[in-house]
Amino acid sequence: MLMLQKAAERLLEWYQLNKRELPWREGRNPYYIWVSEIMLQQTRVEAVKPYFQRFLSELPTVRDLAACPAERLLKLWEGLGYYNRVRNMQKSAQIVVEKYGGEMPADYEALLALPGIGSYTAGAIASIAFGLPVPAVDGNVLRILARLEADSSDIAKQSVKKMREQQLLELVTDSACIPKLRENPGELNQAWMDLGAGICLPGGEPSCDSCPLKDFCKAHEKGEETAYPVKSKKLKKRLEDRTILLIQDGERLVLHKRPGKGLLAGLYEFPNLEGHLTEEEVLNWVEEKALFPIQIRSLDPAKHIFSHVEWHMIGYLIRVASFEGNLKDNYLLAEVKTVEEEYAIPSAFSAYARCLQMHLGPMRPEKENL
């Protein structure tokens, strides 16, 4: 514990000089911190910034999130993926409005009880926004501590995470050992975040020469930084072949709304079929939908990786004659501009959206390289 205490003191000194300026750190607003932490799951900081700004410009308070129509909420989340995250956020916001008067509770256990908030997110909100002495242990913290101690424990195991949470809880609650923690316990949690994001990097060579903890790091002492952390391999992803159909009637596009449960539940998508279909098979399917194809063109293949499934896609652009009937089975027609502005399309279809000069997410194409 003494080594960890000294490392934490050094880390806090480094953080004061090197902390990142991030929009959700301004003012210690618990709602902003909550939104940012949920968005940052599976997504890089720089990628999150425009999504965060768009989301907060339309839903600036917990009450706004609680009352947002479901389809608009999904559209605001478009491009971030893992849509259950924002569905759980809305469930939590509704509980906060009903039970806490629209104010995030300044209590770790109360935060942890909200849908979609785990120990890390609860710790981040409680410590950063409310100054409560609780840890926030994520992959960054597990990686850094594994290297500091040259610990070969499997960080994918829940027991290892629990051990680290207890270890850091003892550290932050004994604030007498680190006087700076008395003023703002959240500073240490943010320092771990910044060190892991910029120096003690995953999946490659860490920048040890710039690390404030190199003098304490056993992995660095042994020259074995990349040997840690140890993490068991994930299950092999299931491969699926899909055929994506861009069906246009003039300026209108056929969309399909997915079922309310399962992968990409309740979102809109381009019609797609199992397997890699031939032109003839696709045309037969289109005609079965009472659409009359007049032109078909194959599109480049694309791939998208979900948490447990990997799609290998081929696509076709199909022009159909003007259609005035009613599509069935959750299919609809909408203008491309309307689709871009109002319907949430999963990023799995980004490659094919670009074929229509349609952009998914908060930024327009001309701004993407800024």
Token output for 360: 């998914």
DSSP string, 70-125: HHHHHHHHTTS--THHHHHHHHHHHHHHHHHTTS--S-HHHHHTSTT--HHHHHHI
Q: Does the annotation mark 37 as catalytic?
A: yes
Question: Tokens 């199909």, residue?
Answer: 318
Cβ–Cβ < 8 Å for 292, 254: no
First to last CA, the chain: 45
Q: Say which residues have a Cβ less than 8 Å from residue 303's Cβ, sequence separation at least 6.
A: 310, 311, 312, 313
Q: Using N-to-C axis directions, what is the helix angle for 2-18 and 158-173, rounded to 10°?
A: 80
CA separation for the pair 143, 219 (Å, rounded): 11
CA separation for the pair 121, 101 (Å, rounded): 21
Q: Give me the amino acid identity at 291.
A: L
Q: Which residues of 201-225 are buried (b: 16+ CB within 10 A; e: fewer)?
A: beeeebebeebbbbebbebbeeeeb
Structural Rg of the chain based on CA atoms: 24
CA separation for the pair 317, 296 (Å, rounded): 6
Q: Say which residues have a Cβ less than 8 Å from residue 187's Cβ, sequence separation at least 6.
A: 12, 15, 180, 181
CA separation for the pair 84, 95 (Å, rounded): 17
Kindly name the residue from 13, 21, 26, 37 that is annotated as catalytic: 37
User: What is the number of H-type helices and E-type strands within the chain?
Assistant: 17, 7
**What letter does residue 206 receive in the DSSP assignment?**
-
Which of 317, 300, 302, 310 lies closest to 350, judged by CA? 302
Catalytic residues: 37
